[in-house]
Chains A and B, each alone.
Chain A
Amino acid sequence: MTTRFTKDHEYIRVEGATAVVGITNYAQEQLGDIVFVELPAVGKVLKQGDEAAVVESVKAASEIYAPASGTVTEVNAALSGEPGLVNADSEGAGWMFKMTLSAPAEVDGLLDDAAYAEISK
C-alpha cells in the first residue's frame, strides 16, 4: 500500500489493483465545514488532472482533480448524507472514490509523505 499526494491536496492510496482518492486532512482544515460533495459517476474514465469531484464548504466550491488516470469503480455513497465525514476523517471514512489505474507509473511522480508535509506546513 502506497499513499501519494498532489500539490492540490488530494491523496491517492494504491491498494493492489485499485486506488482510493480523497482530500488530505490539511485540505479539509483549510476548506472548513464541508456541506456537499459531488462525486463522479461509476465507470467515468479520468485522465490525470481531470476534474473528478467537487466539495462545497459553507463559503465556496472546490474542484477535486484525479491524481492519476483510470476508471472510477466505486464512490463513497455515505458522503451524500454525511458530507461532514470529510472533515471528521478525510483520509479514512471520508474517502471520495475508488479507481483502477490505467497508468500506475503516474503515481510514482506524485509527492511522498515528506514532500507533501513540506508543502502543507
Chain B
Amino acid sequence: MTDAPTELLKTVLLDGKHRALGGRMVPFSGYSLPVQYPTGIIAEHKWTREHAGLFDVSHMGPSFLEISGKTGDPEADHAAAAAVVETLVCGDIKGLKPGQIRYTLLLNDTGGTLDDLMIARSPRFPGTLYIVVNAGTKENDFRLIAEAAGGKAKFTRADDGALLALQGPEAAAVMADFLPATTGLGFMTYGSFEWRDARLMISRSGYTGEDGFEMLVPANHAAAVWDALLADPRVKPIGLGARDSLRLEAGLPLYGHDLDETISPTEAGLNFAVSKRRREAADFPGATRIVREFGGELNRIRVGLLVEGAPARDGADILGPDGAVVGKITSGGFSPSLNRAIALGFVPPGLSAAGTQLAVSVRGRAQPATVAPLPFVPHRYFRKPA
C-alpha cells in the first residue's frame, strides 16, 4: 500500500483524446498524462524537430493577477501589478511592454528556486498579468502569489481549461491556417484571439527550442481546438517523453531536477533571468546570495555534458580528472537529434569550461563526459524582422 493510489491522479480535460490516440498514460506531477503515443518517443521527438508537435500541457498552472483600484494610467497600473509579483521573483516585470512575456524565477529567502515560470503583461488590460507556473509546484506558487496579492490585487487561477503547445518549424504555417492573426506574434509575446465563439490566449513561446505557440483554451472549446490542430497533416500529438528529450537538447532546466530550493538562478546559469535593475536594487528574495554569486563567489554551476556510452541519469556522480566526485547529474538521457547520451549537471566553476574532460559514474563505472556549450541543439526561435 505504499504506492500512491492511482485514483488520486487528476485527469486533464483531453484525457479521452489521449487514450483514443493510444497514449500511454503515466502519473506526472499528480496528473495522468501521456508519456508517448504508439509511434514512440524518438519518432515524436524527430517529428517535432522537423514538422509540428502538439502537446497537452494542461497540468501546468495558468493564472491571472489583476491590480485593484486602477488609476486609469496604463503604466502606473502595470507598475502596481508588477510591484506585487516582484516581491517574489528576480525578473524585471515592471519593464514588460504590453503583450510581452518574461521567463523568471520564484525564489526563497536563501536565493533557492521555488519554481521557474512565465509572467506576461496583458496586451489589452493595463494592471493585469498572465502567469504560468509548473504543475508540481502549482499549489505552493499560487498560495504565495495570492498572499502577495493580498488586498492589492485579485488573483485568479485559470487551470480549469486546456493549455496546448504547438512546437516545431512548421508550427507557424499550421497557425497561419488555424488562426492567421497569431503569426504576427513575436517570440515571447502573447495576444488574445477570437476563434469561433471562444477567446484564446496565444503566446509565441514554448520549451522545446523550436518556434512555437502555447494556447490557453476555455474548457468547452478544448476538444475542438485539439481536433482542429491535429487535423492538419503537419501536426502529430507528442507525449511527455519527447517533451523532456526536446527540452534537454535545448538545454532548458526542468524544475525538480535542474532547479530546486537549494539551486540559485546564478548556479543554474540563468543570469539572464536576473535583471540588472533588480540586481542593483537587491530587492528580491535571496538577493544577498545572488548578488554575491554574480560577483564571482560561486560554488557550482550548471553545465551540459556529452556522455560516452550509456545515458547518465539524474543523481549520477560527476567525476573530476582525478576521479573524485565533483558534482551530480540533474537531468540526463538520450538525444534523438544527436544520437548519443547528453546530460545536465552541476560542477565547480573551475571545471565548467566547454571542452573540459570529466567522467560520469553509471552503475559503478566511470564513463567519459565532456563539458559542452548549451544548448546541445541550436534554438530556432522566431525573430520578428526589425
Contacts and interface: CB of A to CB of B under 8 A. Distances in A.
A54 B41 contact: no
11 contacts: A32-B35, A32-B36, A33-B42, A33-B43, A36-B309, A58-B241, A58-B333, A59-B35, A59-B244, A61-B313, A87-B40
Interface in B22-54: 24, 35-36, 40-43
Given A36-B334, A38-B310, A57-B41, 10 more contacts: A32-B24, A32-B40, A32-B41, A33-B41, A35-B334, A36-B341, A58-B41, A58-B245, A58-B333, A87-B40
B40 A33 contact: yes
Interface of A: 32-33, 35-36, 38, 54, 56-61, 87
Interface of B: 24, 35-36, 40-43, 241, 244-245, 309-311, 313, 333-334, 336, 341, 363
A60 B42 CA distance: 14
Contacts of B313: 60-61
Chain B at the A interface: SS class: mixed
* Interface-central residue, A32, A35, A58, A61, by most chain B CB under 10 Å: A58
Contacts of B241: 32, 58-59
Contacts of A54: 310, 363
Given A32-B36, A32-B41, A33-B41, A58 B310 contact: no
A59 B309 CA distance: 15
A56 B42 contact: no
Most buried by B among A38, A56, A59, A87: A59
A36 B40 contact: no
Contact of A38 (B40, B43, B334, B363): B363
Contacts of A56: 310-311, 334
B41 A61 contact: no
B41 A59 contact: yes
A61 to B, nearest CB: 7
Q: Which of B244, B309, B334 has the most chain A CB within a 10 Å cutoff?
A: B334
Give the most central of B42, B43, B313: most A CB within 10 Å. Answer: B42
A58 B334 contact: yes
